[in-house]
Amino acid sequence: MGVTGRKFPHWELVAMLLRLKRMRHGRMGDGREEELVEHVLAVAAPGDPDAAIAAVDQFAARPNRFLINIGAEKGAILERAVGRARPTRLLELGTYCGYSAMRIARSMPAGAHLWSVEPNPANADVARRIWEHAGLSGQVTAVVGALGDGGGTLRKLRERHAFGPGGLDFVLIDHAKNEYLPDLRRILAQGWLHPGSVVVADNVRIPGAPGYRAFMRANQGRWWRTVEHAAHVEYQRLLPDLVLESEYLGGPA
């Protein structure tokens, strides 16, 4: 079925889920992230984000080289959300190898900038190298840290990157699933969103973020307007997943 949705054998799907459970600090732990960098640099023309994205998809479609990036099917949902929002200041939680950041960057308006927060320094380094090769270093900044680290990363975003009240137009949440709702609450407490800001959340069904989904459903039409996009877990067509696209309507933190 191609890179957008190949049919994994059932045994490979089971192995994939087991790897996700064993994964440490957002890395597969078997060297595939470094192999990905080598692959992108070898097959994608420098300065071509489309070629870099295609190279990542090509790598992830290989047997035993599954990646936890958002993938082609859900990446298209993400790009359409960015296109509708037309944001100028964007935040991503969960960089991994920089794939979703590239899909955001090629969809955001000229002059826009994306900050991508990643707790694993090795992941951030992989992403930076891929972005540099794709010609996106001026549009995307990796920030090593986590919003729930006691305030250090929030302070870094405020003081070094000029995050302030009402200044954030778009957020992608795609990191530790149990941090989806706590990190959204941290962003709301900072006052960074404004009415019309859009928050997109991946993997809401698998591995799952039930608290986040319940929060959006409880506040539908009051503080948020959410559309649930049916999709599949990255790079296959058997496991169903959900991407939530939520417009902030204003309201209490």
| Phi/psi of residue 30, nearest 5 degrees | -125, 15
What gap in Å lies between CA 213 and CA 181, rounded to an integer? 9
What is the DSSP code (8-state) at residue 179? G
pLDDT tens by residue, 94-142: 999 999 999 999 999 999 999 999 999 999 999 999 999 999 999 999 9
Cβ-Cβ contacts under 8 Å for 42 (sequence gap 6 or more): none
Per-residue model confidence (pLDDT) at position 64: 81
pLDDT band at 15 (very low <50, low <70, confident <90, very high): low
Contact in structure between 243 and 231 (CB atoms under 8 Å): yes
* Domain extents in the chain: 10-248
Fold of 10-248: Rossmann fold (3.40.50)
| Phi/psi of residue 250, nearest 5 degrees | 100, 150
pLDDT tens by residue, 52-99: 999 999 999 887 888 989 999 999 999 999 999 999 999 999 999 999
Long-range CB contact pairs, 56-64, < 8 A, 24+ = 56/97, 56/99, 56/102, 56/130, 57/3, 57/4, 57/235, 58/3, 59/35, 60/3, 60/234, 60/235, 61/2, 61/3, 61/6, 61/235, 63/12
pLDDT band at 237 (very low <50, low <70, confident <90, very high): confident
As given in the structure block, the two tokens for residue 26 are 């957002």
Q: Higher pLDDT residue, 22 or 177?
A: 177
pLDDT tens by residue, 26-47: 655 678 999 999 999 999 999 9
Per-residue model confidence (pLDDT) at position 1: 31
Element (H, E) at 186: helix 180-190
Per-residue model confidence (pLDDT) at position 204: 97
Q: Which of 179, 187, 198, 139 is nearest to 163 (CA)?
A: 187
Q: Give the whole-number percent of the chain exceeding pLDDT 70.
A: 88
Question: Taking the complete model, does pTM exceed 0.85, yes or no?
Answer: yes
Peptide bond into 63 cis (omega under 30): no
User: pLDDT averaged over the chain?
Assistant: 91
Contact in structure between 133 and 108 (CB atoms under 8 Å): no
Residue 244 has pLDDT above 60, yes or no: yes
